[in-house]
């Protein structure tokens, strides 16, 4: 009988240790998990490099290039920052054409491209601006063709 009791006691102790270990592991995951998720989310998976910047009619602008890897590729963006305003996306291109400059006159902006987009003769793209100097809607291109 004592061997049966000691086997039962060992089985109970093992089960209790297993339950306590599983609980400790779950507690560790629930305590550390949110910090890992925040850290993972704060990483910059698509770093941007400023290629050009300037000022036109009181509005700052900058051209950035991001290499986002195989599924997305290279993303070009033009952001404008009106006087007393925040940065607004004016142009985005996945796969080209590359923007090289920005000029603003009144409530109209013009982005100069390194090469003409597919199906266009000129190297410029017009941007309509609202009364605060922000783009009404960003102009988007995918693989050189304009997307509405």
CA distance 148 to 146: 7
Q: Are residues 94 and 57 in the same domain?
A: yes
> Domain limits at 126?
48-147
Instruction: Measure CA 62 to chain center.
Output: 17
Q: Are residues 55 and 39 in the same domain?
A: no
Q: Are residues 96 and 117 in the same domain?
A: yes
Domain tally for the chain? Answer: 2
Q: What is the pLDDT of residues 99-139, one digit of tens each?
A: 999 999 888 899 999 998 888 888 999 999 988 888 999 99
Q: What is the pLDDT of residues 36-62, one digit of tens each?
A: 887 776 666 778 889 999 998 888 999
Confidence (pTM): 0.68
Q: Are residues 90 and 36 in the same domain?
A: no
Q: Are residues 82 and 124 in the same domain?
A: yes
Q: Are residues 79 and 8 in the same domain?
A: no
3-state DSSP of 74-107 = EEEEEEEECCCCCCEEEEEEECCCCEEEEEEECC
Q: Are residues 115 and 71 in the same domain?
A: yes
Q: Are residues 60 and 90 in the same domain?
A: yes
Domain boundary among 43, 58, 73: 43
Specify which residues 99 forms β-bridges with.
113
Q: Are residues 103 and 79 in the same domain?
A: yes
Beta carbons of 76 and 91 less than 8 angstroms apart: yes
Beta carbons of 133 and 82 less than 8 angstroms apart: yes
């Amino acid at each position: 009988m004592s061997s049966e009791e000691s086997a039962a006691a060992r089985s109970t102790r093992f089960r209790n240790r297993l339950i306590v270990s599983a609980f400790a592991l779950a507690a560790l995951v629930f305590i550390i998990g949110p910090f890992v998720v925040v850290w993972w989310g704060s990483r910059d998976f698509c770093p941007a490099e400023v290629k050009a910047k300037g000022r036109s009619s009181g509005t700052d602008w900058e051209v950035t290039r991001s290499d986002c890897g195989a599924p997305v590729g290279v993303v070009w963006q033009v952001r404008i920052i009106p006087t007393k305003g925040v940065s607004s996306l004016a142009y985005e291109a996945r796969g080209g054409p590359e923007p090289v400059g920005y000029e603003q006159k009144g409530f109209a902006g013009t982005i100069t491209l390194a090469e003409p987009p597919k199906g266009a003769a000129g190297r410029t793209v017009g941007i309509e601006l609202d009364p605060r100097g922000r783009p009404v809607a960003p102009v988007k291109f995918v693989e050189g063709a304009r997307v509405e």
